[in-house]
Amino acid sequence: MIIFDDKVVSVFSDYGIMLPVAGWRARKIVDQLGGDIASPSGHFPGPVLDIQQTLSFLGKTGDVIGRSDIERVHSPAYVDALFSDSPDGLTRQLLNAYELIGPDGKPNRYEPDKALKPLSALFDKILAQCAGSYLACAAALSEERHFCYFLAGGNHHARYDTGAGFCLINEIIIAARKLQAEGGASLIWIIDVDVHKGCGSAELVSFIRSGVNPVPFEDGCDILTLSIHMARGWPLDSETLSGAVQGRAPLLPSDVDIPIGEGEEALYISRLEQGLDRLEQLTPQGAGPGIAIVVDGADPYEHDELLSSALMRLPLDQCVERDMLVYNFLRSRNIPSAWIMAGGYGERAWEPPCRFLQTLGACRASRV
Ligand SMILES: [Zn+2]
């Protein structure tokens, strides 16, 4: 099934943030798929449900993500800041996470005089996206095809004690840890194919294992992370600089990292295939994952418009081949999967996830 809800989509210009993110991207995909939100009875990979309908489907009510879910993943001091309106509180953390103040102290991609809403109001959207990712996991476990695609979300850069890279909180690890705390899964795979390294997810998992995060995994639980990404460029270059300046620890490795250098696009699929095999080898015998969360960024696409995505240019067919490789790998092993749409910038960022979902539907139809 597919989760789509206009209410969780962040229209960044409403907050004065000038990023090339099309607020209509998810709606365009649903329109192209012929989905009907009012009558959620579409064919595979549908039906298309909004958040409220997904809650009903799962028999849940009320707020999905609360402070305690964030406390499981981020540092106590950082969580305190997020829920504070002090000078170092929520607004300061948002300015930092969205890189809205440049090194010169002047606004960067930020025009607060054009904002229609206060920056702090963005937090509600971020929590709603986090809820959507968690619900996608719960739905993938519950629905008959064990597949759910959430047309939003993907905040994978947020670190233990700070936001980063347009990510205030790490929605991927928050969703995974909530699922584990509720007994929904023990081992969880994160397969991150966004063009930018899943640096926050790698750090958070490492910090749980090493005890830096005082909230341990539940008995028998773990998260294994795979990230395939640009070998250079954000965050791998900028972090070296900012890490030195801020005295932060360097970026930590994922369990499986697959850096792709400039001009190596032709190797992408075979190296991803090897990486998936490696992920499986790292998985203890007889303890396969209860679910895989796929961070399905469209920003490796050759038509992506974000400057910091420019060092990888996958054609559309290769983006779809990537997704079908991951989908078939998981399906052949009966592993439920929750797909989070993640990064994608500019006028054509809707095309890779749309073509993937159309391809899934066509494959299914041809089998029937
Ligand atoms: Zn990205």
> Rounded distance, CA 293 to CA 322, Å?
15
Total number of domains in the chain: 1
Q: Cα 319 to the chain's mean position, in Å?
A: 17
Give residue 75's identity as a one-letter amino acid code.
S
For residue 193, pLDDT over 60 is answered with yes
Mean pLDDT over 25-42 rounds to 73
pLDDT digits (tens, 9 = 90+) for 164-174: 999 999 999 99
The pLDDT tens digits of the residues spanning 119-163 come to 999 999 999 999 999 999 999 999 888 999 999 999 999 999 999
For tokens 């850096």, what's the residue?
259
- Say how many Å lie between the CA of residue 319 and the centre of ligand 1: 14
Q: Which residue has the tokens 């960044």?
A: 12
pLDDT at 21 over 90: no
Q: What pLDDT, on the 0 to 100 scale, is given for residue 34?
A: 80
Q: How many helices (H) and strands (E) does the chain have?
A: 12, 8
The CA 298 to ligand 1 mean position distance, Å, reads 8
Cα 220 from Cα 180, distance rounded (Å): 10
List pLDDT tens digits, range 214-247: 999 999 999 999 999 999 888 877 665 555 445 5
* Total number of residues shown for the chain: 368
pLDDT exceeds 80 at position 46: no
Query: In the chain, what percentage of residues exceed pLDDT 90?
Result: 79
pLDDT over threshold 90, residue 47 = no
- Residue-wise pLDDT tens digits, 305-324: 998 899 999 999 999 999 99
Spacing, Cα 368 to ligand 1 middle (Å)? 36
Residue 247: per-residue pLDDT: 55
pLDDT digit string (tens) for 89-100?
999 999 999 999
Tens-digit pLDDT profile for residues 274-301: 999 999 999 998 889 999 999 999 999 9
pLDDT at res. 65 = 96
Are 293 and 176 spatial neighbours (Cβ–Cβ below 8 Å)?
yes
By the 8 A CB rule, do 337 and 292 touch? yes
Distance 343 CA to ligand 1 centre (A): 4
| Closest listed residue to residue 229, CA positions, set 250, 274, 199, 273 | 199
Domain extent at residue 340: 2-367
Q: 289 CA distance to ligand 1 centroid (A)?
A: 25
Interval between CA 213 and ligand 1 midpoint (Å): 25
pLDDT at position 45 is: 79
Q: From ligand 1's centre to the CA of 219, what distance in Å?
A: 32
The CA distance from 153 to 213, in Å, is: 24
Distance 301 CA to ligand 1 centre (A): 11
Q: What is the CATH number of the domain that holds 171?
A: 3.40.800.20
Q: What is the mean pLDDT of the chain?
A: 91
pLDDT for position 39: 47
Cα 299 to ligand 1 centre (Å): 6
Q: What is the DSSP letter of 6?
A: G
CA 203 / ligand 1 centre spacing (Å): 17
Residue 176 pLDDT: 98
Least confident piece of the model among 45-54, 120-129, 255-264: 45-54
Q: Copy the structure tokens of residue 153.
A: 């979300």
Look at residue 251 in the predicted model and tell me its pLDDT.
Answer: 85
Distance 296 CA to ligand 1 centre (A): 9
Q: In angstroms, what is the span from residue 320 Cα to ligand 1's centroid?
A: 17
